[in-house]
């Protein structure tokens, strides 16, 4: 049984979480200024237009910043410690918080390329985690 906190999905965010269950990363894009944003909102945070659509994104980007949690954020995270929490900048622009998985904390660096990796944590929720895709930099 999955014991970590799960998103409480609401009408604003249901299409996002529905798409993740199908292993698609669906963000909102503004039909006026053409820019993507994240998390999904009712108004474009760039130009304040209400003319928005859902559009699939590449799921690739780079690490904007990160930290290594040496203590768990609650008992459910204890077995994972230390784990990597990061903010990833997608190539389409928006930043999102995530976990970097499949590597040791010592390998993580700001600027490393990453790609989405879908983690079906329950029947209802798939979390978009990220894996590093470029070679480990020399000296790291």
Partner 1 sequence: MGTRTSAVAREAVIVGVAEAALVDGMLATPMSPLQVQAKMAHAALKEAGLSLRDVDGLLTAGMWGVPGVGQLPTVTLAEYLNIVPRFIDGTNIGGSAFELHVAHAAMAIERGLCEVALITYGSTQKSERSRTLGGRPATLTMQFETPWGLLTPIGGYAMAAMRHMHEFGTTSEQLAEIAVAARKWAMLNPAATQRDPLQIADVLASPMISDPLHLLDACLVTDGGGALVMTSAEHARTLGVKPVYVRGFGEAATHWTVAAMPDLARLTAAEVSGRNAFAMAGISHDAIDVVEAYDSFTITVLLTLEALGFCQRGEGGQFVSAQRTAPGGAFPMNTNGGGLSYAHPGMYGIFLLIEAVRQLRGEAGARQVIGAETALVHGTGGTLSSGATCILSGR
Which residues contact partner 1 (rule: CB under 8 A)?
4-10, 13, 38-39, 64-74, 77, 80, 83, 85-87, 95-99, 105, 110-111, 127
- Least distance between partner 1 and beta carbon 68 (Å): 4
Closer residue to partner 1 in complex, CB, 16/29: 16
- Least distance between partner 1 and beta carbon 50 (Å): 19
- Least distance between partner 1 and beta carbon 104 (Å): 13
Closer residue to partner 1 in complex, CB, 52/68: 68
Closer residue to partner 1 in complex, CB, 85/115: 85
Which sign does the torsion angle of CA 127, 99, 58, 40 carry? positive
- Least distance between partner 1 and beta carbon 7 (Å): 4
Q: How far apart are CA 42 and CA 45, in angstroms?
A: 9
Closer residue to partner 1 in complex, CB, 33/76: 76
């Amino acid at each position: 049984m999955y014991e970590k906190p799960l998103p409480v999905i609401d009408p604003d965010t249901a299409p996002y979480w529905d798409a993740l269950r199908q292993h698609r990363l669906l963000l909102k894009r503004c039909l006026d200024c053409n820019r993507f944003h994240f998390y999904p909102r009712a108004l474009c945070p760039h130009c304040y237009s209400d003319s928005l659509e859902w559009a699939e994104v590449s799921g690739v980007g780079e690490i904007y910043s990160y930290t290594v949690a040496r203590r768990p954020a609650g008992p459910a995270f204890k077995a994972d410690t230390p784990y990597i929490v990061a903010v990833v900048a997608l190539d389409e622009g928006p930043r999102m918080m995530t976990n970097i998985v499949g590597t040791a904390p010592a390998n993580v660096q700001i600027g490393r390329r990453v790609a989405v990796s879908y983690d079906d944590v329950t029947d209802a929720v798939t979390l978009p985690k990220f894996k590093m895709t470029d070679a480990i930099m020399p000296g790291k």
